[in-house]
Chain A
Amino acid sequence: MMRRVLIAVFMLFSALPALAVNPDEVLKDPVLEERARGLSAHLRCMVCQNQSIDDSNAELAKDLRVLVRERLTDGDTDEQVLDYVVSRYGEFVLLKPRLSAKTIALWSAPIALLLIGALTMILFVRSRPPLKTVTPLSDEEKARIDELSKG
């Protein structure tokens, strides 16, 4: 039953035409608005499936968008806005998780894998016998070939 409800909730949100920022929310200062849009793309809509608050039209997303804009107008830096939102909603709200003990594996995975892969390749190449270089024929051999091909 619970699953049905959750699916229904999911369907509801996923199907709502996601219409994001409304004209009344837009800040007058284009530089601040630009920053607000950038920050919004990094913040998760808490009640949606994998949508940023910039893309979502859920009430909660709207509240967060307004909150971000308020903080920006009050003179917060981008980092301060994110800190504030995280302090209220937790790390879950960030679409790009911060580097910490619990995300170290996530962030280091690409680099570690690349290094391991490259290292394996190098070791593999070294372990194999080098490609034999072809020594050119000596004059004697060439002469012998000529002789044979004539005959």
Chain B
Amino acid sequence: MIIELGHFALVLALAVALILSVVPVIGAARRDAAMMALAPVGSLVLFALVAFSFGVLTWAYVVSDFSVRNVWENSHSMMPLLYKYTGVWGNHEGSMLLWLLIIVLFSALVVIFGKNLPETLKANVLAVQAWIASAFLFFILLTSNPFLRMNPAPAEGQDLNPILQDVGLAVHPPLLYLGYVGFSVCFSFAVAALIEGRIDAAWARWVRPWTLAAWTFLTAGIAMGSYWAYYELGWGGWWFWDPVENASFMPWLAGTALLHSALVMEKREALKIWTVLLAIMTFSLSLLGTFLVRSGVLTSVHAFATDPSRGIFILGILTLFIGGAFGLFAWRAPRLKSGGLFQPISREGALVLNNLILTVSCATVLTGTLYPLVLETITGEKISVGAPFFNLSFGLLMIPLLLAVPFGPLLAWKRGDVLAAMQRLYAVVALSFVAGLVLYYIENGGPVMAAAGLAMACYLMLGSLADLWYRANFGKLAFNVAWRRLIGLPRSAFGTALAHFGLGVTVLGIIIVSTYETETVLEMRQGMTAEAGGYTLVFDGMRHAVGPNYTDDQGHFTISKDGVVVADTWSSKRLYTARRMPTTEAGIVTFWFSQLYVSLGDAMADGGMVVRIWWKPFILCIWGGCLIMMLGGFVSLSDRRLRVGAPSRKAKVAKPVTPVMEPAE
């Protein structure tokens, strides 16, 4: 009965979403307060209905109600409770429901935080959110309904895909979706602005925190997914340029560009049209990613062709929203007035360069991901575009971008001075060169390019600190005065510095691990030793263990350095009983930022085991840097300017021409 209630709530949600899609827009056009007032109430009701429906599905998983087909297909009564909860989104139907839940959650958040949004803008934004929600409600109800029953109900479920039974993957989709779908708010704001035909600084102030929040969650989601792939797949890779990864990386690249262009718009009222376009593109890439992952088109063009109902549906949604938004843009954008002027060499100019490179690299990833699909569809010829292509093309594009990062914040708005910025960066360049050489020496040489890469990473980290240093005016002012100035800097300044510093840390990790990691593949018998990264590993033998829904063959390794035992680890091969599916659970030991990664291979006839041992120097920097970037995002979000909220338009009109000194940030 409760399942049917959940199903019914979803149908009801569709009805609400459809009303919400139409009435507030008409209200905004007619300036009808009652019709516009429907938007906030309706959005909250919509959220309540979808949340209830999601709760019902979760309940079905927790109590293992196998009469629900979706639960039967993806759960098992013996599965640990945590995975019963997370199993809800470990499958197509459930993850689409999560997608929907998050989009209506964001609508509700706009209602809660948007108390002083102009009425017409709010009504239009919530209506556009409801358009997207309606489309996905249709999709779920018509092609991917999680509430379908089975009669008779099976006694036992088919278990969740074992590689998904993991804490990392349990939290990965919600984080990723918070980012992915969070950009829908920017999209809705952009479309609403186009409908109204006006954009002002208040608009930018509203868009920026949403962009920042979505970007921060997307960073977290991607980092989590990467770390999960690293420890769970058992061969120590952390980024594969897999189309599924690219699908989440493209909105991140576009979102990063949007974050920066929204800054220009907020401070200087320039790049308005471009920001609107970018907001539309970012969410379009999120939709494209959903299509790529959810339609099956990636598995094979043929798999898509044999059962295209879902794929065609999402493709329809994709065309409708992207086409519609771009059409609207082409029609209305010329009406928007372009704003502040600036010289090519200025903070704005640097941010434009940032946008150019980020958009081109995003387009490169997009081309590489879709090229094989398009080529095969058109000519029938099959080619592969894999990691070597992306490493080369994307890598080359990143070099000028990374070099430019520390310059941006040091240039003044409107009209900057490259030479002055360079003078300020002399010390940074010199220091990072030395730091690069020191690291190069510590890691015992290697290709010369590695030294350059290391210096580049240090340059990014030091460059972000230099920005804070010069703003507080250390060196010129007395230390305690400068210190007080530093404390007094707006939080967004720290946010920028943290995010850029984190980028440097990630680059450092990537360069060190790709240059200096070592891999040893050997057959080990009990008592044998192996060397990796200066540590000695002793293979102590195997044991058999039984988990709740799997059996484990575990190998024990003792790790010592200079004859002293420093750690030990279990590395195992696991067999999930319900699906007869094997997985590896690598043994990972952390030393500071570096890790030893031990993975078991096949058992040999003579009792030995194939063992793979990787030494991954500084690998934790890759995700540590992402954590720092996220921290930067949150710090920036907590900035007083954003907390106090955007000035309403009326307030702006009240005092029209008072020139306000822009703080140099």
Nearest-neighbour CB distance to chain B for A43, whole angstroms, equals 9
CA distance A11 to B583 in the complex (A): 12
Is B342 an interface residue when CB atoms closer than 8 A count as contact? Answer: yes
- List B contacts of A50 (CB < 8 A): 240-243, 384, 386
Q: Which of B112-120, B388-396, B438-446 lines the interface with chain A? A: B388-396
Nearest to A109 among chain B residues (CB) is B367
B404 close to chain A: CB less than 8 A: no
Query: With A and B bound together, what is the CA distance between A21 and B614 in angstroms?
Result: 13
A103 at the B interface (CB under 8 A): yes
The residues of B that contact A88 with a CB separation of less than 8 Å are none
What's the least CB distance linking B193 to chain A, in Å?
21
Expressed in whole angstroms, the Cα–Cα distance for A147 and B598 within the complex equals 82
Measured between alpha carbons, how far is A49 from B302 in the docked complex, in Å?
14
Bound: A19/B603 CA distance, A: 12
Assuming A113-B364, A131-B414, is B387 touching A17 (CB within 8 A)?
Answer: no
Q: A-contacting residues of B (Cβ < 8 Å)?
A: 161-163, 233-235, 237, 240-243, 296, 298-300, 302-303, 306-307, 341-344, 352, 356-357, 359-361, 363-364, 367-368, 371, 375, 379, 381-389, 392-393, 396-397, 414-415, 521-523, 573, 581-584, 599, 601-602, 610, 612
Complex contact A97–B341 (CB within 8 A)? no
A131/B342 in contact, CB under 8 A? yes
A106 touches B371 (CB 8 A): yes
Which residues of A in the span 5-56 have a Cβ within 8 Å of any Cβ on B? Answer: 6-7, 10-11, 14-23, 26, 41-42, 44, 49-52, 55
Chain A's nearest CB lies how many Å from the CB of B333? 14
In chain A, positions 92-116 with a C-beta closer than 8 Å to chain B are: 92-97, 102-103, 105-106, 109-110, 113-114
Are A23 and B522 CB-contacts (below 8 A) given A49-B299, A92-B382, A93-B384?
Answer: yes
Residues of A within 8 A of B359 (CB): 113, 117
- Which of the candidate stretches A69-77, A121-129, A138-146 sits at the interface with the other chain? A121-129
Residue of B nearest to A108 (CB): B367
Is there contact, CB below 8 Å, between B363 and A15? no
Partner of A95, one of B234, B341, B385, B414: B385
Cβ-defined partner of B341 (8 Å) among A26, A106, A128: A128
Supposing A23-B610, A96-B392 touch, asked if A121 and B386 sit within 8 A by C-beta, the answer is no
Known: A18-B233, A92-B382, A114-B356. 7 other contacts (CB 8 A): A2-B307, A19-B235, A19-B610, A44-B386, A97-B384, A102-B379, A121-B352
User: In the complex, A95→B163 CA distance in Å?
Assistant: 26
- With A50-B243, A131-B414 known as contacts, the answer to whether A23 contacts B384 (CB < 8 A) is no
* A136 in contact (CB, < 8 A): no
* Cβ-defined contact, A103 with B364, below 8 A: no
Let me know if A95 and B242 touch, CB within 8 A. no
Decide yes or no whether A151 CB sits under 8 A from chain B.
no
Contacts of A18 in B (CB 8 A): 233-235
Q: How many A residues have CB within 8 A of the partner chain?
A: 48
| Chain A residue, CB-CB nearest to B241 | A50
Q: Tell me which of A17, A50, A131 has the highest count of chain B C-beta atoms within 10 A of its own C-beta.
A: A17
Chain A residues with Cβ below 8 Å from B303 are 2-3, 6-7
Determine the distance from Cα of A128 to Cα of B385 in the docked complex, in whole angstroms.
41
Q: How far is the CB of B99 from chain A (nearest CB, A)?
A: 20
Contact of A44 among B162, B356, B384, B584 (CB under 8 A): B384
Chain A residues, Cβ within 8 Å of B242: 49-50
Q: Which residues of A contact B161 (CB under 8 A)?
A: 11, 15
Contact in complex: B386, A17 (CB < 8 Å): no
Given contacts A114-B356, A117-B359, contact A15 B163 (CB under 8 A): yes
A91 located at the interface, meaning its Cβ lies under 8 Å from any Cβ of chain B in the complex: yes
Using Cβ atoms and an 8 Å threshold, which residues of chain B touch A131?
Answer: 341-343, 414-415
Q: Report yes or no: B388 in contact with A3, Cβ–Cβ below 8 A.
A: no
Q: Which residues of A contact B306 (CB under 8 A)?
A: 2-3
What is the interface of chain A, defined by CB distance below 8 A to chain B?
2-3, 6-7, 10-11, 14-23, 26, 41-42, 44, 49-52, 55, 90-97, 102-103, 105-106, 109-110, 113-114, 117-118, 121, 125, 128-129, 131
Nearest CB of chain A from residue B370's CB, rounded to whole Å = 10
* Closest partner residue, chain B, to A25 (CB atom): B521
Closest Cβ of chain A to B134, distance in Å, is 27
Asked whether B521 lies within 8 Å of A95 as measured between CB atoms, the reply is no
| B residues near A118, Cβ cutoff 8 Å | 356
With the chains together, A56 CA to B234 CA distance in Å?
Answer: 11
* CB-based contact A19/B234 at 8 Å: yes
CA distance A131 to B268 in the complex (A): 14
Q: How far is the CA of A121 from the CA of B381 in the complex (A)?
A: 37
Q: Which residue of A lies closest to B382 (CB)?
A: A92
Do residues A23 and B386 form an inter-chain contact, with CB atoms below 8 A?
A: no
Asked whether, in the complex, the Cβ of B368 is within 8 Å of the Cβ of A106, the reply is yes
Closest chain B residue to A118, Cβ basis? B356
* 6 pairs, A vs B, C-beta closer than 8 Å: A7-B296, A17-B233, A19-B612, A44-B384, A51-B240, A95-B389
| Chain B contacts for A26, CB-based, 8 A | 521
Smallest Cβ-Cβ distance to A132: which chain B residue: B341
Q: Complex Cα distance A21/B375, Å? A: 32
Interface contact A110-B386, CB-CB below 8 Å? no
* A19 touching B582, Cβ below 8 Å: no
B583: A residues at CB distance < 8 A: 15, 17
- Per a CB cutoff under 8 Å, which of B375, B386, B599 touches A19? B599
Q: How far is the CA of A6 from the CA of B601 in the complex (A)?
A: 26
Interchain CB contact under 8 A, B299 and A7: yes
Q: When the two chains form their complex, are residues A110 and B397 in contact, meaning their CB atoms are under 8 A apart?
A: yes
Contact partner of A92 (CB less than 8 A), chosen from B243, B384, B387, B397, is B384
B residues within 8 A CB of A105? 367, 371
The chain B residue with its CB closest to the CB of A14 is B163
Cβ–Cβ contact A96 & B388, under 8 A = yes
- Find chain B residues with CB under 8 A from A93 CB: 384
List of 6 A-B pairs having minimum Cβ-Cβ separation, nearest first: A95-B386, A96-B388, A17-B584, A92-B382, A3-B307, A110-B364
Known: A17-B584, A19-B612, A95-B386. Is A110-B393 also a contact (CB below 8 A)?
yes
Whether the Cβ atoms of A95 and B356 lie closer than 8 Å is no
Given that A3-B306, A17-B584, A109-B364 are contacting pairs, would A52 and B386 also be in contact in the complex, using a CB cutoff of 8 Å? yes
Contact A91 B383, CB 8 Å, known A110-B360, A131-B341: yes
User: B367, A95: Cβ atoms under 8 Å?
Assistant: no
